[in-house]
């Protein structure tokens, strides 16, 4: 399992790359899981979660088996109202909400399609349903975009230190869309994730002249 360590003012944030949209993070003694899905890891062998973030209700982001493997009576689960219909008692966040959960400041960012449709007028991810999350770890702001395109709300973000942006057609973004958004909100570190068969070298090439953005490629297909 690949992992990167990010220094923050409150201690190390360790990001483990499980695959697709699934991540695990440790920070000041807390274990945080994002979109846990059984096909990406053996969750029975992973640390129990203090917090679980779920971006939306699709099967490759919400997997009850994986959630049940890592949750305890004390685990806080943050998700959308659609997620809450499958996991009662969670912390529900709507687009634009801000909350503090277990000492972490969280902001829910809209996640939706603009051009990619499963049928005319039927986007894969309709506006107002899915979340991305900005989570503050000490002096670092980390943005997990969920399944989305390069929306106006994403482009208006500022002071993002680490960003995870999805890059697979037809559901989310092309490398060009990711680059377009990144040039606007300028994350210090950019991880493409959820990228399937997309050629990550295209994104690296598109952003090679952006001095303030470090593109990091990890195995997140």
CATH code for position 123: 3.60.15.10
Q: For residue 130, give both structure tokens.
A: 């899915």
pLDDT of residue 59: 86
Backbone phi, psi, residue 66, to 5°: -65, -45
Which residues constitute the domain of residue 10? 2-215
* pTM over 0.85, yes/no: yes
* 157 domain-assigned: yes
* 86 domain-assigned: yes
The CA distance from 108 to 120, in Å, is: 27
* 73 domain-assigned: yes
* 220 domain-assigned: no
Overall domain count for the chain:
1
- The beta strands (E) that lie in the chain are given as 2-8, 11-19, 22-27, 30-34, 51-53, 76-79, 91-92, 98-101, 104-111, 117-119, 122-123, 130-137, 140-144, 162-166, 189-193, 214-215
Which positions ≥6 away from 170 have C-beta within 8 Å? Answer: 116, 118, 124
What does the pLDDT look like over 146-194, one tens digit per residue?
Answer: 999 999 999 999 999 999 999 998 899 999 999 999 999 999 999 999 9
What's the gap between Cα 218 and its chain centre?
Answer: 14
pLDDT of residue 221: 80
pLDDT of residue 60: 86
Residue stretches of the chain with pLDDT short of 50: none
pLDDT of residue 1: 86
* 221 domain-assigned: no
pLDDT of residue 172: 95
pLDDT of residue 132: 98
* 84 domain-assigned: yes
Helix/strand/coil for 25:
strand
């Amino acid at each position: 399992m690949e992992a990167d360590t990010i220094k923050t003012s409150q201690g190390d944030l360790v990001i483990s790359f499980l695959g697709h949209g699934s991540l695990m993070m440790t920070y000041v003694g807390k274990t945080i899981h994002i979109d846990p899905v059984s096909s990406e890891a053996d969750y029975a062998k992973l640390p129990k979660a203090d917090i679980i973030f779920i971006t939306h209700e699709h099967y490759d982001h919400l997997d009850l088996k994986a959630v049940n493997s890592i949750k305890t009576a004390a685990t806080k689960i943050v998700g959308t109202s659609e997620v809450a219909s499958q996991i009662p008692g969670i912390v529900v966040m709507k687009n634009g909400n801000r909350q503090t959960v277990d000492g972490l400041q969280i902001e829910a960012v809209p996640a939706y399609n603009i051009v990619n449709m499963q049928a005319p007028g039927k986007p894969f991810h309709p506006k107002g349903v899915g979340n991305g999350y900005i989570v503050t770890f000490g002096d670092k702001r980390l943005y997990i975009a969920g399944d989305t395109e390069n929306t106006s709300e994403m482009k208006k973000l500022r002071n993002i230190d680490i960003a995870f942006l999805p890059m697979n057609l037809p559901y989310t973004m092309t490398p060009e869309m990711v680059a377009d958004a990144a040039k606007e909100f300028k994350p210090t570190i950019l991880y493409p994730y959820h990228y399937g068969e997309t050629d990550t070298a295209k994104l690296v090439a598109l952003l090679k002249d952006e001095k303030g953005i470090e593109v990091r490629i990890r195995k997140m297909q």
